[in-house]
Chain A
Amino acid sequence: MPRIVYVLPDGTRREVDAAAGTSVMKNAVLNDVPGITAECGGSLMCATCHVYVDPADAGRFPPRADDEEEMLEVTEAEVRETSRLSCQLTVDDTLDGITVHVPEEDA
């Protein structure tokens, strides 16, 4: 079971055991990681599942698809090179310990 580490804006770390084949978004919602609303449930329609992949893990996920690129521009928080929509990030056993940062929530 791959572990996902969510780092909250205040620095708190939340570790979650994820089932292979599930998304970083889904695991956040089901484990009540704050700041990932995921209103569209993973359909790449809402951009409320924005995270920053830890620089150390950059390159472990396949690159953004075009639609993800466009929808990222809808997010409230600043878009960085490491920005991803977490519903598009599927974990498997090779991604154990992957670390993502949750953006500061918009006021």
Chain B
Amino acid sequence: MTRVVVVGAGHGGVATAQALRAAGSTAHVTLVSAEDEPPYERPPLSKDVLLGKASMDSVRLRAAGWYDDNGVDLLLGTRVAAIDREARAVHLDGGAPLPYDALVLATGGRPRPLPCPGSGLAGVCSLLTSEHCRDLRSRLAGARDVVIVGAGFIGLEVASAAVALGLRPVVLELVDRVLARGAAAEVSRAVASYHLSRGVDLRLGTGVRQLLGTEERVTGVVTSTGEVLPADLVLVGVGSSPNDGLAAEAGLHCQDGVVVDAGLRTTDPRISAIGDCARFPLGHGLVRLESVQNAVDQGKHVAARLAGTVRADAPYLAVPWFWSNQGGLRFQAVGVAEGSDHEVVRGDPEAGRFSVFRFRRDRLVCVDSVNDAAGHRTGRRLLANRAHPTLDQVADPSVDLRTVGRAPG
């Protein structure tokens, strides 16, 4: 019987196990998770779970009995320490080697620490796991002065939660706009004004020089402009790094992520990598994405390959999409913005409901939507059908983009 070992039981790892069984695979499946908590959804950690509106039990990826019922060995609180490619086995922390015929790396990423003095003080938090979420929630309940470093998705979601809890957080962002990595400039403006209107103290173009503390507890933040902000809670949301150390130590090609081919195989064809930890070919280059959709769809693809329901050389082709909820603001994106060189806005940015259609060399590559499910829906349709609307068509509000046809070739 084939033995499939999956390292990491987050969105990607669990989707892999689930898709293997859904495809009727009888492989022996082992899911190894470094976390003690049974597998759960991560997005609510910065939203409803952080607000106490949802419990961890309500955000499980599968019911507790699913793993047993489906013959999936779930090893919680167990870290894979090394991969022995020659012996085709992984070494567990303090355990016997676990042999595999196919290995799937779904190890996710880890928050980047702040590279400045004081980042190890108590009260300086990051948010990745349920444990972090519990810690952050209890600290928010007692906090007065909250400083959030980084106006990315996690930073702004936590800022929304803080506002909902009656706090007035300061958000520091090094560059001159929010969501600079992920969103169109028009979206950045709309999102920034939403948070400002809710009382967030947003400081653009401002970094952190140092964190201050007394008795190992954070008490303040010295900004790059020299200002000293009081702080009893600092949330660091400055991006994450892929967990590619296991792969790198095993000699697999890594480059800010485990590099995989179009079928999501690493340089060792028995080993695949998916989700946040993987760098895969998309569009005109290699990308690493951090989204539930990407982790789940890549898990499904690898499972289908292993179960033989798609050909061994089938490429992974899903169109990426992503969402973020920030209080009452809904952001949705579809496609990949990297390298986009032209943007067309549809809808009404003043009214806070619009989409930005982003082009690369006259070809639609991405649609960012703010409170605009219709725009998002249109973008998904167009990109999934490889339709090829022109800039003029998109710029003309009287054109129904749903009628735009498929691109030639």
Give A residues with C-beta under 8 Å from B: 26, 29-32, 34, 37, 39-41, 43-46, 66-67, 70-71, 73-74
Contacts and interface: CB of A to CB of B under 8 A. Distances in A.
A74 B374 CA distance: 10
B22 A32 contact: no
A70 B373 contact: yes
The size class of the interface chain B forms with chain A is 20 to 34
A70 B374 contact: yes
Contacts of A29: 62-63
Interface in B49-96: 58-60, 62-63, 66, 69
A44 B43 CA distance: 13
Contacts of A41: 41, 43-44, 59
B296 A37 contact: yes
Contacts, number: 50
A32 B377 contact: no
B296 A43 contact: no
Given A32-B63, A40-B323, A41-B41, A74 B380 contact: yes
B332 interface: yes
7 contacts: A29-B63, A32-B63, A40-B43, A46-B293, A67-B330, A67-B373, A70-B377
B323 A74 contact: no
> At the interface, is chain B mostly helix, strand, loop or mixed?
helix
B374 A32 contact: no
B292 A39 contact: yes
A32 B61 CA distance: 10
Nearest to B323: A45
B332 A45 contact: yes
Nearest to A41: B41
Contacts of A66: 373
Nearest to B295: A39
B369 to A, nearest CB: 10
B28 interface: no
A34 B22 contact: yes
Contacts of A73: 377, 381
